[in-house]
Amino acid sequence: MSRQVLWAPWRLDYILGPKPDACVFCVPPAPEEDEERLILHRGGLAYVIMNKFPYNNGHLMVAPFRHVSCITDLTEAESTEIMGLVRQSVGVLKQAFRPHGVNAGLNLGEAAGAGIAAHLHFQIVPRWNGDNSFMAVFGETHVIPEHLSSTYTRLRPLFGP
């Protein structure tokens, strides 16, 4: 059997880089670091960010700026804006990637599968027929066909100014 190599160069940044001491979803108010943080859009109360460790190409998240852990802690205004950003994100993904479907939702609490339970965030994952290939099922490996920076460059203009 020949050895297969799967390249994921952006993983090295995580492996060797500093680990955050604070909540990764509590972002600074100024947008100077948005590209580095993969923030695609800032609203008044919430924002859209790319997942640095995506399940699929184009995996996005929507989070409130305010540090809250449960949907019942959101204000009406936050709830409205977040749902609008989820809808906008699905539209952008459909335009940019033409997925066959989209998973959109949130996990509340660690027991429900939230990787970062302390700060509420919606996951928006584009899906294609057959994207759960043998790599994901047997190799526990996700194949992401486009580098994160290329995906950012492609998606950022679709969210507007």
Quote the longest CA-to-CA distance of the chain.
Answer: 57
Helices (H), the chain: 11-16, 34-37, 76-97, 134-137, 148-155
The residue from 41, 59, 121, 142 that is catalytic is 121
Closest CA to 78 of 120, 36, 110: 120
Give CA separation, 62 vs 4, 24, 45, 130, in Å: 35, 13, 11, 26
Catalytic status, residue 121: yes
20: DSSP letter? P
Task: State the catalytic residues.
Answer: 121
